[in-house]
Structure 1
Amino acid sequence: ATERAHRCFNAVMCYGSLSRLSSGFCPLSVSADHFKGTARTFQHLRLLDQEQYQTSAVLGSALDSFYCGLKLKNQPLDLTQLLGQLTGVGRRMASLSCSFPLGLPENGLLENHSCIPVPLTPGAVADARQDISLAVVRGCPQDLISRLPRSVQDPGEVVHRFADKMCGGGLAWLMRVENPTRTANGFPAIFDEAVTPRGLISKHPREKNTGVALVPSLVCVQSGSGTARGLQEVVHAGSSLDLQRFHRCTLAGTEPDAFKEALNAVQELASDYDLGL
């Protein structure tokens, strides 16, 4: 109970501060919620609790792919415009999701593939409706895109359909980065044995001493009802927290009024979604 209370306290104070200081913020974690610390499940990864640096590898790769998408010379994207569209009127929080690796089968087609991105924001829901999204598709092998169904003539249309479907609709920007993530020699052995050295999925297990050198991925930055779930989770827990019972919070110099002020800021942020702003 004490650990949960401190997690709740930290989440409220952090979100309250960020909502005042930033026009758009995106809390990052592989935890499924703010209080239990349970890690999300990644279909083709094996994360070990005792090796916490592995989670940094997942978060770092997602951020790297996101910024690679923003820096494309042939598709310039203004960050201020992006944040303005994502956060909308009154909204100041977005969520980051990723499919790492993308999970493409060796002999499959992108048109037929499905991979729901895993949220990297605690409490966010993957399959909820998203109002607006930016997607970065990175390192998708060209041969899996170029095999087109008869109804499609443009390979770019296949990628756009795929990304829009995986991001829950509302895709405003699609950025394509040709080069996949390259892993260094010291990269943790977190990939399932079905992942090939090219980052594709095979029916045959990868040899024991063979690593994964290239990792195709999908990264989404979104704002919508799925993002709001995490805010509502923090507000609900914060509203029932009796700060006086937990001396560590008050010894840190936090007055009850400061906590209430931060909680009100998070409540206002969450209510923007309820109002549909």
Structure 2
Amino acid sequence: EGKSRCCEARFVRGPVRVRFIHRDQGSRKALCSPLCLCAAPSVLLWSDYLNVHLHPKSLYVIRQYLHDGDCGCLEAFGQGESLLQDPACLEELEDRLHFYVEECDYLQGFQVLCDLHNGFSGVGAKVTELLRDEYSQKGILTWGLTPVLSTVGDPQNNFYRLMNTALGIAHLARHSSLLCPMSLSGSLGIKPEPPVTFPYIKYEASLNYHSSAILAAALDTLTAPYRLWSSQGSMMHFADSLTFSGRKVVAAWAALPFPALSSSSLPDVLSAHQQDVPWKLLSSWREQKVSCCFAQSVVLRGICQEKPTSCPGQPRSPLHSCESPEQVLQQFLHTQFPGAFSTSHVLQQPCDTRPPFPQFFSPLLTRQGFLLDKAQGVESIPVLAALQSTPVLHSLLSGLCRELQAPNVRRWSSFFTAGVEQDDFQEALEELKTLSQCYETGFGASEDEADSD
């Protein structure tokens, strides 16, 4: 799980997270399955930079598998799923879960962060199923994480990754209130695509230290609407506003940093991007432009909220006529995405990027992450981030189905010896296909359907 600082000082003690870790070969240190944010590229484990003492009940070590090596790895969905079918493991998990639930003054729900590409997709599937059975009235927000994919890989490992991802998305979407795949990889499919690029960040995609920092900054911003004390809604309300009509999967977008001049007001900043929102897709699909969406939650942080000073005779845009920062952003979203259900939040505090956050920013940024000044050492940045229910997801989900047609699956029958039945796998693919159809808009759908047939 990526380390990131909170965007506000006070948060509701709501979400509960249980970390699953597994042994590292040749080391007694534990490695966390999702995002790993380290102090330097030479540091490999999140525990190498951990400065706080974790409560013993906040960790559960999976001793049956190693993190790395040629054998003994948690590499298949069925292996992860079978772990939580062990009564001893299930009892340990429930004990830790109930310990923290009883500590909560007001339980909003749960955030589940898990890998999609390996056996942890099966672990996450069983965890979300357990949470749904015991806490059906609480929000379960799941973030499926995938590292940047190598352009060269073993064919069997690539196909295992693809099948783990498909099964993970199908099962996690079934049991979660909301599922968001997050990755800097350009594709979840067999064919690798170049990783996501940012105009003011020069990062090394192969380093978890870099990629997890970017995803953690985006996640810290995306989840602000239900973590702030000032929030009006709960995690469940947040999920319901994005997932109506069966659209349980959402896409993440982010502009890191959001390009703005330090002296510009919020209406001036947004007026400069009327033609194209400068964010990038963080949900592993090559389509980087979006012209419509069904629903979205947008957070903008770290931009000056003072009203601009008006000059006599200077034309005023509709954004300059708004009374509050929230109205400015809402008006901007209404113009960019007419007809979409949009919720927006404007936070004054930027995203903190002091160490251990990697210093991979352009020298054209100030210490506060604004443009043009050539000061070194960026300490914070403005961020624009969004979760969207968007037609892009039709292409992503249907693309996974097409790559896992029956002739291809039969080539890798060894995958099913790990505990997944072929009938269950085909059922998951049907769920993905049905889910993808929820995002059709009528434009280009016939071509996708022809390919899938």
TM over 0.5: yes
Amino acid at match of 1:67: T
Q: Which moved more, 1:254-263 or 1:117-126?
A: 117-126
Instruction: Please state whether the residue corresponding to 2:378 is helix, strand or coil.
Output: coil
Query: What is the Cα deviation at residue 94 of structure 1?
Result: 1.0
Match status 1:15 vs 2:181: no
Q: Which runs of 5+ in 1 are unaligned?
A: none
Residues in 2 aligned to 1:113 and 1:48: alpha-carbon distance in whole angstroms = 30
Match status 1:120 vs 2:282: yes
Match of 2:5 in 1: none
Shift in alpha-carbon separation, 1:19–1:111, aligned structure 2, 3 A: closer
Residues in 1 aligned to 2:208 and 2:229: alpha-carbon distance in whole angstroms = 35
Query: What is the Cα deviation at residue 48 of structure 1?
Result: 0.6
State the number of aligned residues. Answer: 271
Query: What is the Cα deviation at residue 34 of structure 1?
Result: 0.3
Query: What is the Cα deviation at residue 247 of structure 1?
Result: 4.7
% identical equivalent positions: 23
Instruction: Please state whether the residue corresponding to 1:89 is helix, strand or coil.
Output: helix
- The answer to whether the 8 Å contact 2:294/2:390 transfers is yes
Q: Map of 1:126-165 to 2, 5 A cutoff?
A: 126-143=289-306, 146-147=308-309, 150-151=316-317, 152-153=320-321, 154-156=323-325, 157-164=327-334
Match of 1:184 in 2: 354
Q: Which moved more, 1:187-196 or 1:251-260?
A: 251-260
Instruction: Please state whether the residue corresponding to 1:189 is helix, strand or coil.
Output: coil
Query: What is the Cα deviation at residue 32 of structure 1?
Result: 1.6
Match status 1:269 vs 2:441: no
Residues in 2 aligned to 1:81 and 1:63: alpha-carbon distance in whole angstroms = 18
TM-score (norm 1): 0.86
Residues in 2 aligned to 1:94 and 1:267: alpha-carbon distance in whole angstroms = 15
Q: Which moved more, 1:126-135 or 1:238-247?
A: 238-247
Match of 1:5 in 2: 159
Query: What is the Cα deviation at residue 55 of structure 1?
Result: 1.0
Query: What is the Cα deviation at residue 198 of structure 1?
Result: 1.0
Query: What is the Cα deviation at residue 79 of structure 1?
Result: 2.4
Q: Which moved more, 1:85-94 or 1:129-138?
A: 85-94
Match of 1:218 in 2: 384
Residues in 2 aligned to 1:71 and 1:187: alpha-carbon distance in whole angstroms = 22
Match of 1:231 in 2: 397
Deviations 1:48-68 (A, max 9, x none): 134222111111111111222
Instruction: Please state whether the residue corresponding to 1:86 is helix, strand or coil.
Output: coil
Match of 2:110 in 1: none
Structure scoring higher RCO (CA < 8 A, sep ≥ 6) equals: 1
Q: Map of 1:84-103 to 2, 5 A cutoff?
A: 84-103=240-259
Query: What is the Cα deviation at residue 166 of structure 1?
Result: 5.9
- The answer to whether the 8 Å contact 1:44/1:191 transfers is yes
Q: Which runs of 5+ in 2 are unaligned?
A: 1-154, 443-453
Cα RMSD, aligned residues only: 2.5
Shift in alpha-carbon separation, 1:105–1:229, aligned structure 2, 3 A: farther
Shift in alpha-carbon separation, 1:252–1:165, aligned structure 2, 3 A: farther
- The answer to whether the 8 Å contact 1:29/1:121 transfers is yes
Deviations 1:203-232 (A, max 9, x none): x5x34xx21011110111110212322112
- The answer to whether the 8 Å contact 2:302/2:348 transfers is yes
Q: In the alignment, which of 231, 235, 245 is matched to residue 411 of structure 2?
A: 245
Match of 2:204 in 1: 48
Residues in 2 aligned to 1:247 and 1:226: alpha-carbon distance in whole angstroms = 31
- The answer to whether the 8 Å contact 2:261/2:269 transfers is no
Residues in 2 aligned to 1:164 and 1:116: alpha-carbon distance in whole angstroms = 16
